[in-house]
Amino acid sequence: MTFLAPLAAALAITLPAIVALYFLRIRRPTRIVPALDLWPDQIRDRQANVPWQRLRFSWLLLLQLLVAAVLVAAAVQPALSASASLAPHTIVLIDASASMQAKDVEPSRLDEAKRQVGAMIDQLGPQDRMTLIAVQSTARIVGSGSGDHDALHRALNAIAPANGPADLSAALSLASGIVRAGEESRAYLFSDGILEPLRTSFANGLPFPIEYRRVGVSGENVGLTSLVVRAGAQSRAAYLRVHNFGQQPRSFTLEWRSDAGLIDVRSVSLAAGQAEDLALPVPDAANTVTARIEAKDNFRLDDSVTAVARAPRAFHVLLVTPGNVFLEQALRLRTDFQLDVIAPAAYRSSTSYAMTVFDRYSPSAMPDAPFVMVDPPAGSPLAGGAQVGIGRVRASDAGDPLLNNVSLQDVHIAKSQDMRASTFGRALITSLQTPLVLVRDAPFRQVLVGFDIHDSDLPLRIGFPVLMQNLSEWMLPPSVPSRSFHPDETVTIVPENGAKTVTVVRPDGSRRQLATGSIATFADTDLLGVYMVEQTVSGNTDRSWFAVNLFSDTTSQLVPVDRLALPPSKVFSTAQTNHRGLIQVWPWIALLALVLVLAEWLAFHRGL
Amino acid sequence: MAALLEPPLLRRLEALAVLVRRAVKGQMGGERRSVSRGRSPEFADFRNYTPGDDYRLIDWNAYARLDRFVLRLFVAEEELPLSLFVDLSGSMDWGRPNKAAVARRLAGAIAYVALASLDRVRLTVFAEGPTSGGAPYRGRHAAQELFARIQSFPAGGPTDYSRLVSPITRQRPGMTVVITDGLGTSPVEPAIRALHHARQEGAVLQLLAPQEISLEWTGDARLKDAETGVEREFTATPATQAAYRTALARRTDEIERAAGRHGLRFARLTSDQPIEDMVQSTLRQVGLLG
């Protein structure tokens, strides 16, 4: 046991003082009464004066001595050693991501983590400091280096769960940044271990040891992990993926509705670990469709998903080619493209097309618009050098989003123009011999392909239509992307030409005004549901939608991680300065004193 | 010396009479309407007619002269011997208003009611022992003498009710009123029993000060008995105050029960009550006056 204020023991002088007061005799005023025999023969000495008298036993004296002794005991602030090992500066990282909303521990994983952190705050000694960091899609400090228990408790209680992922890398970088040089620190991560993979290696080690405290017990959960709407030739259909991540078979009801009303209700049964894909009808009038299950599981965020069902705005695209079925088919896969195909001789410069694809043809003047130039003829402005044989094909940057889901492993190209001297833009696909595909952002997003498609097996690969899709989406981004986004993911919104106002209405009804002049990024996507974008163009209001869903198998899996691979610490030993946390017991002792005071009051009134 | 009772109050008291439950035999005539049958030729006094009076006593000559009914009273054989025993011990010399002063006024008022009805009034004050207030008083004209006499007795000393037994038993059957606070070292019971044995139709009027009913102070004190001068240390706490109130209530109840047991009327009065309120309200309610 430790005493935080040992000097307060001097207050024990009050005990002999109380006894001394009982030794003293009271000087009492004389009162004449009509009949003394009616008055009970009871005397209480409560007022000191001379001369001395013999000390008599009194329950009041006993209780008063007890009260004084207990108050002195509370004043010295005794504290018991706690189980937690605390450094002078404790850094607490609390995972407040989506998976921490699971209710496998009551009332939720986040609340359980907050309870444990609250107990740790109570154990802080008078010289200790604590920093609280909420680990969400963006880490943030909620309580900075404070020793004030109340302030830390307030900061802790203010942490609200988010629907996004937990970015531990950012949180650790943040924590590393706040540790002063030479300061002994220790970090605790309260989490279920469902975190984004570490982006930074922290090869030099963290400036503090970090300990993982697991929160959560069960991974029983049924989730909706995907919902997409596909337009066929005649109708549209939605494809929904339902996954039972738990160890128990589950039966539940699936409710399928559009913004116009309920469409279907069906029962679904899934074995443990089973996933099922369902095809669901989409009415023509529907703008959005929603699937909801009542699985009575531990996690609600993946029980409801939404998709935008409305067909996006169409683009006019021109393909100028002497004949290229591969390009034509790849472009026609875009349902929002209205494709015109013409021979090079028929080409006239026009501004009515949003994008033009030139195949083995170069006009005299390139259009001021997005275009794709494939194998420009020799002598044209974009043409490269002499043909060269091509060996292995690879991506310039494997993480380039334009190559998402595009595999170049089995792609072979016989020959290509030598584009090494081209100043067109950066290389997207390259080889040892020459860059093969180049892209540029200015003045418009444009693509230059240095080889004839027919000299390659690329169009025979599944990656080709995907590549064309990626490139065309990059060049002609929809005003409002109709796909589903993850929570906290940034959405790019391209205002329509002449749009006076652009407003985003969030699922909770709150509105955000965006700038109209340029491409806007919207990052307030923390809520799950449908976001509506309203644009005022020529006095008319144009509405479009995008959805935010959890759609994360990692999160929905929900199984808490027992052991977490955390970066090592570059601090070797902190045993000298680390100490056990303290559990202060003086409030309980003070409470006991209050009870004794009440007892003394009762004893006095009952004339004991 | 200030007048014991104010003239307006005396005028209102004249309308009252001391009520007795059974026939009494006095030495001289009076106006006991409900009792007397005989007449004496000796004229005594005039009195205004009140409903219920025997109209045969109306003085018609006076009616002719004054145009109002006046009774012509004669000295009859019936009179009511009224004895007043007034406690003027040390415990009565206490309180605000002072209990002894109020007791003097109350005794004066009852005596005046009786004198106005031609009853015979005998006054005795007592503390450690009884002191006679002189020869019996009779007739309205004797009131001032009685008032002066009752004011001449000082208050003080202990109360010994047992010493009242002897003078009470010497009383002829009649009405006896004891005004006391009932506080003292000796019990009241022997005096009450003596009233019964002496065939007295009586009343015990217990007079207390408001300060001794509801205690106004707390804390430590040295208590001094107003009668004996004995002192004792004391701490007034809610518990000890409750114990005192219980003891006082028990004492009051004992007196009331003893009075009831011996067929006496009992009334409890506080010294802050106006005299007229005591007479017109409390004493009429217990049937002492009417």
pLDDT tens readout for residues B264-281 = 999 999 999 999 999 888
Q: Above pLDDT 70, what percent of chain B?
A: 89
Report chain B's C-alpha Rg in angstroms. 21
What lies within 8 Å, CB to CB, of A399 at 6+ separation is none
- Chain B residues touching chain A at CB-CB below 8 Å: 90-92, 94-95, 181, 183-185, 209, 212, 217, 220-228, 230-235, 237-240, 243-244, 247-248, 251
Looking up tokens 């009511």 gives: B80
Q: What pLDDT does A442 receive?
A: 76
Distance from CA of B280 to the nearest CA of A (A): 28
Number of DSSP helices (H) and strands (E) in chain A, helices first: 9, 33
A606 in contact with B at a CB cutoff of 8 Å?
Answer: yes
Q: What pLDDT does A122 receive?
A: 84
Q: What pLDDT does A234 receive?
A: 67
**Contact criterion met (CB below 8 Å) for B76 and B171:** no
Distance from CA of A591 to the nearest CA of B (A): 26
Considering chain B, what is the average pLDDT of its residues? 84
ipTM: 0.78
The secondary structure element, H or E, covering residue A267 is strand A261-270
Q: A114-123, B152-161, B163-172 — which is least confidently predicted? A: B163-172
A51 in contact with B at a CB cutoff of 8 Å?
Answer: no
**Contact criterion met (CB below 8 Å) for A507 and A529:** yes
Domains of chain B: 25-74 (no CATH), 81-285 (3.40.50.410)
The secondary structure element, H or E, covering residue A222 is strand A222-231
Q: What pLDDT does A542 receive?
A: 84
Averaged over B109-117, what is the pLDDT?
Answer: 91
- Whether B220 sits inside 8 A of A605 (CB atoms) is no
| Structure token digits, residue A16 | 């002999």
A56 in contact with B at a CB cutoff of 8 Å?
Answer: no
> What residues of A are in contact with residue B185 (Cβ under 8 Å)?
37
> What residues of A are in contact with residue B225 (Cβ under 8 Å)?
32-33, 35-36
Domains of chain A: 2-79+586-605 (no CATH), 88-217+560-577 (3.40.50.410), 315-475 (3.40.50.880), 484-548 (2.60.40)
- Which of A362, A365, A402, A368 lies closest to A383, judged by CA? A362
Q: What pLDDT does A448 receive?
A: 95
pLDDT tens readout for residues A372-384 = 999 999 889 999 8
Q: What pLDDT does A579 receive?
A: 63
Ranges of residues in chain A whose predicted pLDDT is under 70: 1, 25-26, 42-54, 82-85, 232-234, 311-312, 497, 517, 572-582, 607-608
- Whether A37 sits inside 8 A of B238 (CB atoms) is no
Does pTM top 0.90 for this prediction? Answer: no
Alpha-carbon distance values, A209 to A175, A205, A344, B152 (Å): 11, 9, 68, 103
Q: What pLDDT does B287 receive?
A: 86
Nearest to B235 among A33, A35, A42 (CB): A42
Omega before B97 cis (within 30°)?
A: yes
Q: What pLDDT does B36 receive?
A: 41
Number of DSSP helices (H) and strands (E) in chain B, helices first: 10, 11
Averaged over B200-212, what is the pLDDT?
Answer: 91
> What residues of A are in contact with residue B180 (Cβ under 8 Å)?
none
Q: What's the rounded Cα separation, in Å, for the pair A342 and A466?
A: 24
Q: Encode A132-154: b = buried (16+ Cβ within 10 Å), e = exposed.
A: bbbbbbebebbbebbbeeeebbe
pLDDT tens readout for residues B212-260 = 888 878 888 888 998 888 888 888 888 888 889 999 999 999 999 999 9
pLDDT tens readout for residues A253-305 = 999 999 888 999 999 999 999 999 999 999 888 889 999 998 788 899 999 99
Q: What pLDDT does A481 receive?
A: 78
Q: Which residue has the higher pLDDT, B80 or A291?
A: A291
- Which of A168, A148, A166 lies closest to A110, judged by CA? A166
